[in-house]
Amino acid sequence: MAGVVGELFLIATPIGNLSDITMRALEALRTVDLVAAEDTRTARKLFSRYQISTPLISLHDNSSAKRLDDLLKRLQGGEAIGVISEAGTPGISDPGYRLIQMAAEAVIRITPIPGACAAVAALCASALPLDSFYFAGFLPVRSGPRLRRLESLKDIEATLIFYESPRRLNSTLETLEKVLGDRLACVARELTKIHEEFLRFPLSQLRALGSERDWRGEITLLVSGCDLESRSRDPQILLEEEGKLKACLADLDFVKNRSNRDLVEILMAEFPLLKRRRIYEIVLSSTP
């Protein structure tokens, strides 16, 4: 496939069932000059199933800058390079992003070859709203950053999608319920594999289920988005939000050099549950 201008192909591979690969992906894997794979052992299994003999090289999050530079040079020299991750779509909670950025900066053509992605497969069968969704990937492992991340997702009205390890699922379910409330959720497990299952329950019930079973396999977790409408009618929640807003206004660095009008605009984005008029009243009563 070598030519004057190189091309970077982002090739989706199966997330379990090896038949989930497109004709176009197979053609690209056969014809590129080189495939950069997150895990060359998994890639070899796929290659042997489809009799592909394209040279492989590894590309993962810890790949050296030299490895990335070499790949970029080969692209600039006119080679076609495919990127595959261990499973699914490259770059989605997987390596690839740095090379994609470098190729874009060097004005190399980047071609996606779409296919399996656990987030999308889980979402479409979750029975949670599909009109709008937010891919949150893996939550931070440490509890402080984890809580802060979840707090930042609390008011999002779209269905939330997380990747999670079976070991951490129970504690994640517990934290999600604590921070987001007892929302409807779905554990999508072992998609496209023999033990595929979808458990569609409120978080509290999933947690109860989790205390009785040992989660295994690959897990995508989905949680329904915030119902801003009903939250903004809950007096207790509104009181808490007003308390947080007042705390912001008590911070001199925050109010310094800002007009009341600017403050209202900024706070409206920060406190979507509160009405503009109420924010305005609090700003007026809190600023000199």
Give the Å distances, CA to CA, from 213 to 128, 138, 162, 170, 185.
24, 22, 20, 10, 17
CA gyration radius, the chain: 24
Q: Is 89 in the site for ligand SAM (CB under 6 A)?
A: yes
Minimum distance, C-beta of residue 191 to ligand SAM, in the bound complex (Å): 3
Which part of the chain contacts ligand SAM (CB under 6 A), choosing from 22-30, 159-167, 173-181, 200-208? 159-167
Q: Is 222 in the site for ligand SAM (CB under 6 A)?
A: no
Which residue, 42 or 286, is less far from ligand SAM as judged by CB? 42
Q: Is 22 in the site for ligand SAM (CB under 6 A)?
A: no
| Beta strands at 219-223 and 184-189: parallel, antiparallel or unpaired | antiparallel
Q: Which helix (H) or strand (E) holds 242?
A: helix 235-249
Partner residues linked to 221 by β-bridges: 162, 187
Q: Is 87 in the site for ligand SAM (CB under 6 A)?
A: yes
Tokens of 45: 């299994």
* Closest C-alpha among 171, 150, 175 to residue 215: 171
Residue of the chain from 184, 187, 191, 206 that contacts ligand SAM (CB under 6 A)? 191
Q: How many angstroms separate the CA atoms of 75 and 45, rounded? A: 26
Count of residues touching ligand SAM (by CB under 6 A): 23
Which part of the chain contacts ligand SAM (CB under 6 A), choosing from 44-52, 73-81, 89-97, 149-157? 89-97
Q: Is 241 in the site for ligand SAM (CB under 6 A)?
A: no
Q: Is 39 in the site for ligand SAM (CB under 6 A)?
A: no
Q: Is 92 in the site for ligand SAM (CB under 6 A)?
A: yes
Contact between residue 267 and residue 284 where contact means Cβ atoms under 8 Å apart: no
Contact between residue 113 and residue 25 where contact means Cβ atoms under 8 Å apart: yes
Residues that bind ligand SAM (CB under 6 A): 15-16, 85, 87-89, 92-94, 117-119, 163-165, 188, 190-193, 218-220
